[in-house]
Chain A
Amino acid sequence: MNRFIVLLLLLVLLPPVAVADQSASLLRFAPLQGQLDFVQLKTVQGLPVPLRSSGYLQISADKLLWHTTAPVDTKLLISPAGVSQWQQQQYVAVAGSEFIGQLLLAVLQQQQDFILAHFQLATGPNNCLLLQPVQPPLNQLFSQIELCGQQTLEQLTLTELNGNHTDISLQPQAGKP
C-alpha cells in the first residue's frame, strides 16, 4: 500500500519537474562574453528594404555596449536598468526600456532563470530555439524570439507583434575569445 502511495506521489510530482528540466535542457548555448561583431538586418513596416547596420558588442557581467559603426556611428549601453543612448557626450536613459535591456542581456548571457520565467521554449527549424513570451510586457512587444547556432549563439531574430523583425548575426572577433 505504502509503495503504491509513493508511486502515486511520484507520478503526480514528476511531470512538472520533468517539464522544467526538459525546457532547461533546450538552453544549450554557452553564455557570450567579451567582444563580438554583429550585423543587424531590421525589417520595418513601410520600409521597402531592410535596414542593415553593423558594429560590435562588448559584453560584460552586468552590461552590454552596443556600438554600431555603420551606416552611422551610434552607441547604446544596455543593462538590467534599461537602454541608454549616447547623446551629446553622455548616456541618456530611454524610459520604459528596462525589459528590453533585461531581455537582451538574458538572451546573450543565456540567463536560465529569466528565460524560463518569461518564455515558453520549443525547438524550431534548423534546430533553432524558439522563445515565446508568456507574460506582459514582453508578449505585448514580441511574438517570438528565435535563437540559432551550434555551441554558441550565432543568430538572433526578434519578431515584433507589429510585423517588424530584427535579425542579428553574431560572430566572435578574430583573435578574441
Chain B
Amino acid sequence: MRRNLTLILWLAAVALMLVYVLLQLPQRHWNSSITAAMPGTTTPWQNQLMQQNSSSRHLSLLLTGQPLPQLRQAATLLQQQTLPGLSWYQPGVLMQQLQQQYQQHQALLASPAALAQLQSGQYQQLVDAAWQRLLSPAPLLAEALQHDPLLLTQQFIEQQTPVSSMQPRQSWFESTEPAAILLHASLSIDPFDRTDAGKLAAALEHQLQQLQQNAPELQLARSGVLFHAVNAADNASFEMQFYGGLSLMAILLLLGVSFYSIKPLLLASVVLGCATLSGLTALLIWVPQPHVLALVFATTLIGIAIDYSFHGMLAANKGQRYFNAMLPSLALGLLTTLLGYLTLTLLPFALLNQVAIFMCAGLTAAFISVWLLFPYWLAPQSLHNNASLLHCCEKISGRYNNTSALKVWSGALLLAVLVCLLLLNQARFVDDVRLFNQSPAGLLAQEQQVRSMGSQQWDSRFIVVLADNAEQVLQQEQQLLPLLKHWQQQGWLKSWQALSQQLPPVQLQDHLQQQLQLAYQSETVQQYLSQLQLAVPAPRAERLQPDNFNSVLLQQLFSLQQHSASVILLSGVNIPDNERVQLNSMAQIHWLDPIADTNQVLVQLRSQLGHWLLLALAVTLVILLWRRGIKAACAITLMLLIAVGGALLLSQLLQQQLNIFNLVAALLVLALALDYGVFFTARLSSADVYQAVLLSAVTSCLAFGLLSFSQTPAVASFGFTVFCGVALAALLAPLLTVVSVKESDKHGTL
C-alpha cells in the first residue's frame, strides 16, 4: 500500500515536471558564450563591468569583388532592409554630429601639443599655425574666429586619428584600391542569446544570400561575435540532437537484440524520459539562462541512466528477491556517481555546475524510476534473454574466471605503476580557454579579411580606470596619457582609444580657457587679433560633459554600483611585464586581461580538481573497505587507477596535451568504473552482471565515444577521456571476480 502511494506520488511528480518544462522551455533563453561558461573573475566591479560591456554587440561586413558603384548599390540595398535588433552605423552622420558638438564648444578643446605651447608661452608658434590654417582653402568651422581665433578646436578636430584606414562615407567606410565597402552595425540583442541571435543571424544571412544571388561575383566577409556565437550554438544544438539521437538508437537496438521484446524498450524509454525531464526541470529551476554546451555534455545522461535500466530489468526478471539484492549495489553506484557530480557544483565553473545539476537530478530520477516501476511492470521471467548473448557472456565470464588470482594481482599492480609513472612523465596540461571552442576555418578567414581591410583590431587586453565619478575618470585617463605615449614611442603599443581623446575633463577645459585668456593678453596674439581686426573673445561659461556629449566612445564609460569606470582599448600590444608594472603604482588604474585571468582560474581549478580526484580515490577506498573488505577494496582501487590513469594517458597521447575537461572526465570515469567494481564484487549472478555491465559499457562507450567527434574541442576532450576510461574499466572489472571476496549476506544491503 505504502509502495503504491510512493509510485503514485512519483508519477504525479513526473507529470508536474512535464508541465513545468513545457511551460518554461518556450520562454527560456539559452546562452552560447564559451566565456560565460568558463570560470569568471571574482572582483564585483569586474563582473559588473563585463556584464555591461557591449563590445560583443557589433558586427562588420566587407563587400568586395565588384566595382565600387555596384558595391555601393549592394550596400544601400542591405541597409534599406531593416532587421529588428540590428542598426547600421552611419560614420558620416556620426562624424558630422561630433563636429557639430565641437563647433558649439570651440575654444574648450585643444590638442595636447597646442596646450603645451600655451602653457609654455610659445604664442608665436600658435599664431603661425593659425595663419597657416586660415589661409588654407579647406573650409573652417562656423564662427571659428569669433570664439576661437587661434583655431585650436579646429586643429584639434583635424588631428583626431581616423578610426579606420578606410575612408568614412555617409553610411559606410570605403576603399578604392581595392574596391571595398565596410559596413558596421550594432546589435540591441545579446549575441549569445540562442533564440534572438539565431533569428537575427538567419534573417541577415537570408539578405546576404539574396544579394549574392543577384550578383554572384559579390564577395562577402563577416566579422563579429554574433556569427561565431550562432555557429557555436547551432553546432551544439546539432551535436546534442545528433549524438543524443544516435546514442538512443544504438541503445534501443541493443535492447532489442538482447531481449527480443518491445517491453524493455518501453521501460528504458520511461526511465530515460523521467531522467531527462528531471534533469531539465532542475536546470531550468536553478539556472536562469542555461548554456547550450551543458546540454551537449548532458547527452551522456542517456549512457549512464540506461545502465540502471539494464541492471533493473535483469534483476526484476529474476524476481523480487533478486531485485532487492541488486538494489543496494545500484544505490551504491548512484551514490558514488552523485558524489562525483556534486563535487562539480562546488567549482566556480558555470558550465560544470549546470552539467552537474542536470546529471544529479537525472540520475536520481532514473534510480527512483527503476526502483519503483520495474518490480510492478516487469513480471518475473517475462523477458527472455538473447541466448547467444548470454552464452557469450558466460564464455567471457569463464575465460576471466580461469585466470589465476596471482597473475591478475601482479599484472594489475605492474600496469597501475606503469600507467601512473608514464602519466606523471608525459602529462602536459594546457590551460588556455581559447582552445576549448573553435570557429570554422572559413569564418575565421572572413574575420581576418575584414580586419585586414582596416577594421579596428582591439586587443582582448585593456585598461580600466576606476573613480568616483565620470569627471575623475576622465582626469585619470589624462594622467595615463604620458605612459601610453611612451609605450607607443617604444613600439610596445600601436594605438589606443579612450573617451578623453574626444571629451577632455572639465578640469582641462577650465585650464584651457584660463591659458587662452592669458594668451589673448600677450603682445603676439594681440598683434594677430588686430591684423584680423578681431576682438578678444569672452571666456566660455558652458562645458562639454558626458551629459551633453554624444559619441560612440561613450560606450567605453560605465556606471558601476560604487564607481564610474572607463575602458581604454588597446591595439598592437607588446608591453613588457616590467613596464606594465608601472600601472600598479597608479591608484584605480587596472590592467585587465580576461583571457589570462580565466586561464589563471583554470590553473587553480585544475589543481583543485586534481586534489579532489585523489581525495575521491581515498574516500572510495575507505567506503569499499567498509562495504567490501580489504581485498575487494584494493582490487577496485587498482582497477580505478588503471582506468583513470590510462584514460588520461591515452588522451595525452591523442591530444598531445591535457586540459581541465580531461580531468573532469577522469572524475566521471572514477564514478562509472566504481559502479562496475561494485557490481562485480557484489553477490549477484556472474553472467547477469556480465550482461548488465557489458550492455552498460557499450552504451556508455557509445554516448561518450560519439562526443569525442564533437567540433567543440572541450566536449571532444571530455568524451574521449570518458570513452577510454569506461572501455578500460569494462575490460578490467570482470577480473575483480577472480581476486575479490564476494559480498556476504550480512553486508548485502546499504
- A residues whose Cβ falls under 8 Å from a Cβ of B: 40, 42, 44-49, 51, 53, 66, 68, 71-72, 74, 76, 83, 85-87, 94-98, 100, 104, 135-137, 140-142, 158, 160, 162-164, 166, 168
Contact = CB atoms under 8 A, between A and B. Distances in A.
19 contacts: A42-B137, A46-B143, A46-B144, A49-B533, A68-B135, A71-B131, A86-B132, A87-B132, A95-B159, A95-B160, A95-B162, A96-B95, A137-B96, A141-B139, A158-B137, A162-B139, A162-B143, A164-B140, A168-B137
A68 B134 CA distance: 11
B161 interface: yes
B169 interface: yes
Nearest to A45: B143
Given A47-B532, A96-B158, A85 B136 contact: yes
B136 A95 contact: no
Contact of B134 (A42, A45, A97): A42
Given A95-B157, A95-B162, A46 B137 contact: no
Contact of B135 (A45, A74, A83, A94): A74
Interface string B595-619: 0000000000000000000000000
Interface string B456-481: 00000000000000000000000000
B137 A166 contact: yes
B429 to A, nearest CB: 48
Contact of A74 (B132, B140, B146, B167): B132
Given A72-B128, A96-B157, A136 B135 contact: no
Given A48-B533, A95-B158, A140-B96, A162 B142 contact: yes
Contacts of B160: 95-96
Given A45-B145, A72-B128, 9 more contacts: A40-B135, A44-B140, A44-B144, A74-B131, A85-B136, A87-B129, A137-B170, A163-B142, A164-B140
B518 interface: no
A97 B131 contact: no
Nearest to B68: A117
A45 B137 contact: no
Contacts of A44: 134, 140, 144-145
Majority secondary structure of chain A interface residues (helix, strand, loop or mixed): mixed
B92 interface: yes
B50 interface: no
B135 A97 contact: no
Nearest to B155: A94
B90 to A, nearest CB: 10
B136 A135 contact: no
Given A46-B145, A95-B161, A136-B170, A40 B131 contact: no
A100 B132 contact: no
Contact of B139 (A48, A74, A136, A142): A142
B533 A47 contact: yes
A76 B167 CA distance: 21
A125 to B, nearest CB: 22
A126 B143 CA distance: 31
A134 to B, nearest CB: 12
A42 B139 CA distance: 10
Given A87-B129, A96-B95, A136 B142 contact: no
Contacts of B168: 96
Interface string B146-176: 1000000000011111100001111000000
Interface string B114-136: 00000000000000110111111
A98 B137 contact: no
A96 B135 CA distance: 18
Nearest to A164: B140
Nearest to A142: B139
Nearest to B93: A136
Nearest to B136: A76
A98 B95 CA distance: 14
Contacts of A136: 92, 96, 169-170
A100 B157 contact: no
Interface in B357-380: none
Given A95-B161, A164-B140, A53 B135 contact: yes
A51 B170 CA distance: 32
A42 B135 contact: yes
A72 B136 contact: no
A51 B143 contact: no
B1 interface: no
Contacts of A142: 139
A165 B136 CA distance: 12
Contacts of A137: 92, 95-96, 169-170
Contacts of A98: 167
B21 to A, nearest CB: 54
B138 interface: yes
B132 A72 contact: yes
Contacts of A68: 135
A167 to B, nearest CB: 10
Contacts of B144: 44, 46
Contact of A72 (B131, B139, B140, B161): B131
A19 to B, nearest CB: 17
Contacts of A163: 142
A140 B129 CA distance: 25
A104 B137 CA distance: 9
B422 interface: no
Contacts of B95: 96, 137
Given A45-B143, A46-B145, A136-B169, A40 B137 contact: yes
Contact of A100 (B139, B142, B533): B139
Contact of A135 (B96, B129, B157, B170): B170
Contacts of A72: 128, 131-132, 135
B249 interface: no
Contact of A96 (B132, B134, B162, B534): B162
A7 to B, nearest CB: 30
Contacts of B133: 85
A115 to B, nearest CB: 16
Contacts of B140: 44, 160, 162, 164
A44 B143 CA distance: 8
B139 A164 contact: yes
B135 A46 contact: no
A87 B128 CA distance: 10
A44 B137 CA distance: 11
Contacts of A51: 134-135, 532
Contacts of A66: 136-137
Nearest to A98: B167
Given A46-B534, A47-B145, A72-B132, A94 B139 contact: no
